[in-house]
Amino acid sequence: MLNALFGGGGGPNVQTGTTSPIPIPRGGGAEVVKPGEYFVIKVYSAQAAFRGSIFDRVQQLVVTSRVNLHHPALGNEEVFAIQRSREVRRDQAVQLGLSQNLVSLVPATMTHVTVSIDFILDTESRLAVLGTLINNDAFLAAVSLAPGAAAVAKTIGGLAQQVIQTFIPAQRRQPILQFAGDFNLGTGANDLTDGYYAILGSQSQNDPIPNPMPALEVRDGALLAGGQGITQLSYVVLSVVRVPVRTRELSSGAVWDTKLREAEVLSQEVTDDPFADDARQRENWNKCVALLQEARALLLADPNYAEAEAGSIYKTSYKQCADLIRGTTEGAGAKRGGFTADTKTYRELLGIATDDNLESVVADYANKESASRQLLRELV
């Protein structure tokens, strides 16, 4: 059956090279990653099929990747990584043991993302001496918009590129799978979707890429074609996970989060003080508003957070503080006077529309946080 699916023996319709990314829905269907949401891109699985005369002359395979988020926070530069080094096993299909993030959790605030994967034959096995370092992820870092993580990824990427150029000069490299593709965000054409993308490649005319392509599926960590395992072709399966929100707890100690917590503590102090009068409420509330203003400006400038989630975060904190100050939280309502915290003036100071239903905002954000936490736990 596999021979029927994948053909063989050459002929005018033989296809070698590398396919475009083939989307494979996950579960109930493929949902487009919308602007303002978040996504993760990882290598779900990868296989090298060492079939063909080309492998008679080489001993080592190296897998590299390049990612460009086309985002100002990264200077619109691509990040290079060495994913794996493997010994060539002639006439075998070898799982490469890849399950690495290419792109860490980032907001969909860019127009497109470019991902490149290369399977390179080290014709003189010069990189074999660094095999242990490579396979221990020494030259690997996921792309992120967090300033510290972005700097680390750039540094490691630069070192990885120097290693490749030094040990495998261009004239000594032989690619067997080369893929470079753009995934759009919010354009309506070729948009990035939640699910899998399969990229298949072959350098052997006796083991061509099938045309038409049988139905592909991902099952138990492997790529199947027509319900059967693939042994004739090299492939990479990318996994894209769409996440509604980043959640506030992933702020990594950002200054804006510290200021929000300070405001929340000040509000709680009023609630916990049975003798707090209108003057005390007003004093603490004014301090809270100043902290909320500072936090809002910092949060909106944080590249890790989309503007929509940033708004939900500070509106949620604003409501929490206002409720605590005026005593509308459970158990505190009976001891408050006539001070009103949540007014048109204060909302305008913080860029909150006077007709915003904060109860609805808070509930909607809480639901998205719950869904995101579940997805993020599954990614670990």
User: pLDDT tens digit string along 223-271?
Assistant: 999 999 998 999 999 999 999 999 999 998 899 999 999 999 999 999 8
Let me know if 219 is exposed, middle or buried by CB neighbors in 10 A (0-12, 13-18, 19+).
exposed
Question: Which of 31-45, 291-305, 307-321, 332-346 has the least mean pLDDT?
Answer: 332-346
155 — pLDDT class (breaks 50, 70, 90): very high
Reference 64, options 50, 43, 49, 44; nearest CA is 43
- Give per-residue burial for 230-268: e unless 16+ CB within 10 Å, then b: bebbbbbbbbbbbbbbbbbebbeebebbebbebbbebbb
DSSP one-letter code for 213: P
Residue 358 pLDDT more than 70? Answer: yes
28 — pLDDT class (breaks 50, 70, 90): low
Question: Which of 21-25, 214-218, 324-328 has the least mean pLDDT?
Answer: 324-328
Who has greater pLDDT, 88 or 333? Answer: 88
* Contact criterion met (CB below 8 Å) for 42 and 101: yes
Across 127-131, 226-230, 293-297, the highest mean pLDDT is recorded for: 293-297
Question: Which of 82-91, 141-150, 305-314 has the least mean pLDDT?
Answer: 141-150
Who has greater pLDDT, 44 or 326? Answer: 44
338 — pLDDT class (breaks 50, 70, 90): low
**The pLDDT of residue 4:** 32
Average pLDDT over residues 119-124: 86
12 — pLDDT class (breaks 50, 70, 90): very low
Average pLDDT over residues 112-130: 89
Who has greater pLDDT, 17 or 368? Answer: 368
Who has greater pLDDT, 309 or 150? Answer: 309
**The pLDDT of residue 285:** 95
pLDDT, one tens digit per residue, over 232-243 is: 999 999 999 999
Sheet of strand 222-225, all strands in order from the earlier edge strand to the far edge = 216-219, 222-225, 228-229
Residue 172 pLDDT more than 60? Answer: yes
Helix (H, G, I), strand (E, B) or coil at 40: strand
10 — pLDDT class (breaks 50, 70, 90): very low
pLDDT over 90 for what percent of the chain? 61
> Cα separation of 309 and 304, whole Å?
10
Cα→Cα distances 312→197, 251, 340, 365, Å: 32, 14, 22, 6
327 — pLDDT class (breaks 50, 70, 90): low
Who has greater pLDDT, 27 or 151? Answer: 151
Cis, peptide link before residue 212, omega less than 30° from 0: yes
Mean of the per-residue pLDDT values of the chain: 88
Residue 308 pLDDT more than 50? Answer: yes
pLDDT over 70 for what percent of the chain? 93
Residue 42 pLDDT more than 70? Answer: yes
Residue 109 pLDDT more than 80? Answer: yes
Cα→Cα distances 40→113, 151, 153, 209, 369, Å: 11, 19, 16, 28, 16
Q: pTM (2 decimals)?
A: 0.88
